[in-house]
Amino acid sequence: MATSSETSVTNLLARARGGDERDVNRLFERCRAYLRLVAQAQVESWLRAKVDPSDIVQQTLVEAHRDFARFRGTNEAEWMAWLRRILQRNAADFVRRYRGTDKRQQRLEVPLAPPPDASSSARPPDPAAPGPTPSEEVMQLERELIVADALMRLDPDHQEVIVLRNLERLPFDEVARRMGRTRPAVQMLWMRAVRKLQQEVERAG
């Protein structure tokens, strides 16, 4: 059984550049679940009946595989940013076909963490606060990949409520409307989904 270090994006990227097609395929598969979450955040819920995020991910992986030799980055953060740019372009193209417009506001990727309570006051970041170190950035990316894999193992309802609440940062009233449930039911569903996600992450950890 492969260890977590052997399947990390950093090691997979280094091995893939050695020219072995199997390592290239492993690298892309390692990022598939994460890219699906990014795609779901890019495609609004009402469009998912027409635009399957999996189609966007598949198109992204095909293009990235085709252009892999052109990737000039040197680390994991640059690799993931490169994949996200390809995916965001493809998502905008897919959505444009159904919205009939040439403009779409790109939604920034957000980490998989519970949104702040609506009653709390938002504070701007401290401009003097130091940014993350390269090793901290790698650890954050690896954790997001683990969380993405864990989320894909949840039931569809649990996936959807976490995507709407945590990725799209929607209030519970809007989540309830989109899922066709009452607010109390959605809140209970979300709490159960978060617990299940935590269990899956711990199991993978």
What pLDDT is attached to residue 82? Answer: 92
Model confidence at 178: pLDDT above 50: yes
Model confidence at 104: pLDDT above 60: no
Q: Which two tokens stand for residue 76?
A: 């994991």
Model confidence at 29: pLDDT above 70: yes
Q: Looking at residue 75, what DSSP letter applies?
A: S
Q: Which two tokens stand for residue 2?
A: 């492969």
Q: How far apart are CA 181 and CA 76, in angstroms?
A: 40
Sign of CA dihedral 173, 177, 178, 180: positive
Is residue 112 very low, low, confident or very high in pLDDT (cuts 50, 70, 90)? Answer: very low
Question: 31-45, 78-92, 129-143, 180-194: which range is least confident on average?
Answer: 129-143
**How many alpha carbons fall within 13 Å on the CB side of residue 69?**
4
Q: How far apart are CA 188 and CA 192, in angstroms?
A: 6
**Single-letter amino acid code for the residue at 187:** Q
The topology (CATH level 3) of 153-205 is Arc Repressor Mutant, subunit A (1.10.10)
Q: How far apart are CA 132 and CA 136, in angstroms?
A: 6
Q: What are the structural domain ranges in the chain?
A: 1-111, 153-205
Give me the residue label for tokens 């940014």.
131
If you average pLDDT over every residue of the chain, what do you get?
Answer: 76
Q: Which two tokens stand for residue 13?
A: 């990227």
The residue with greater pLDDT, 139 or 123, is 139
Average pLDDT (114-143) is: 49
Contact present, 83 and 56 (Cβ < 8 Å): no
Average pLDDT (174-185) is: 92
Q: Which two tokens stand for residue 18?
A: 């050695």
* Global confidence as pTM: 0.60
Task: Tell me the pLDDT tens digit for each residue of 56-65.
Answer: 999 999 999 9
Question: 72-81, 118-127, 160-169: which range is least confident on average?
Answer: 118-127
- pLDDT > 90 fraction of the chain, expressed in percent and rounded: 22
Question: 123-127, 140-144, 172-176, 192-196: which range is least confident on average?
Answer: 123-127
Contact present, 191 and 111 (Cβ < 8 Å): no
What pLDDT is attached to residue 130? Answer: 53
Of the candidate CATH numbers 3.20.19.10, 3.40.50.20, 1.10.3260.10, 1.10.1740.10, the domain formed by 1-111 belongs to 1.10.1740.10
**Single-letter amino acid code for the residue at 125:** P
Q: How far apart are CA 64 and CA 55, in angstroms?
A: 14
Q: Which two tokens stand for residue 12?
A: 């997979």
Within 8 A by CB and 6+ apart from 176, the residues are: 182, 183, 185, 186
| Coil, helix or strand at residue 132 | coil
What pLDDT is attached to residue 151? Answer: 86
Contact present, 187 and 170 (Cβ < 8 Å): no
What pLDDT is attached to residue 100? Answer: 61
Is residue 20 very low, low, confident or very high in pLDDT (cuts 50, 70, 90)? Answer: confident
